[in-house]
Amino acid sequence: MARVTGAEVLAIIDTELTAIEVAPFITVANIIVTNQLTGEHSADLLKEIERWLAAHFVAIRDPRAKTEKTGDASTSYYGEAGKGFDHTPYGQQVLALDTTGILASLGKRKAEFRSIDLDL
């Protein structure tokens, strides 16, 4: 069961999406937080991480303008493909809230070291 409501997510992100339209982003945020962080943080902190993570997913769907220019109409947006949670300011806040580093490590390759016997 989700820890946050659509209204709570909409309180931190400016979007034209409704609370109902934000629901799928809350669902995926809840799954990630529940599967990765349960037992790692207090209930209050898990709720905040879930809220900011849902906003991160909303921002991917409904990109945030980083800069806007009126003459010759130019807009640049936050985010760069392949940047994970660093893709949006909301995802960056998720990383700051998750002091365990668990979410920061998602999707990254783990180092593997092997030793070889050199006795010939």
The model's pLDDT over 44-101, given as tens digits with 9 standing for 90+, comes to: 999 999 999 999 999 988 765 656 667 677 555 555 555 678 888 999 999 999 999 9
44 lies in a domain?
yes
Q: Is residue 19 part of a domain?
A: yes
- Asked whether residue 111 is assigned to any structural domain, the reply reads no
In sequence order, the 6+-apart residues with CB closer than 8 A to the CB of 85 are 56, 91, 92, 94, 95, 103, 104
Distance CA 13, CA 87 (A): 15
Higher pLDDT, 107 or 80: 107
pTM reported for the whole predicted model: 0.78
Q: For residue 50, what is the DSSP state?
A: H
Domain for residue 91, yes or no? yes
Residue 120 located in a structural domain:
no
- Considering its fold, how many domains does the chain have in total? 1
119 assigned to some structural domain:
no
In a domain, 33, yes or no: yes
Give a yes or no: residue 41 inside a domain. Answer: yes
Position 106 scores a pLDDT of 85
DSSP E strands, 13-117: 65-69, 74-77
Q: Do residues 52 and 45 lie in contact, with contact meaning Cβ atoms separated by under 8 Å?
A: no
Domain range spanning residue 19? Answer: 6-105
Assess contact for 103 and 92: CB atoms under 8 A. Answer: no
SS3 content of the chain, % helix, strand, coil (to 5): 50, 10, 40
Region 31-56: what's the mean pLDDT?
96
- Cα separation of 67 and 56, whole Å? 18
Per-residue confidence at 6, pLDDT binned at 50, 70, 90?
very high
CA geometry: angle 46, 50, 53, nearest 5 deg:
135
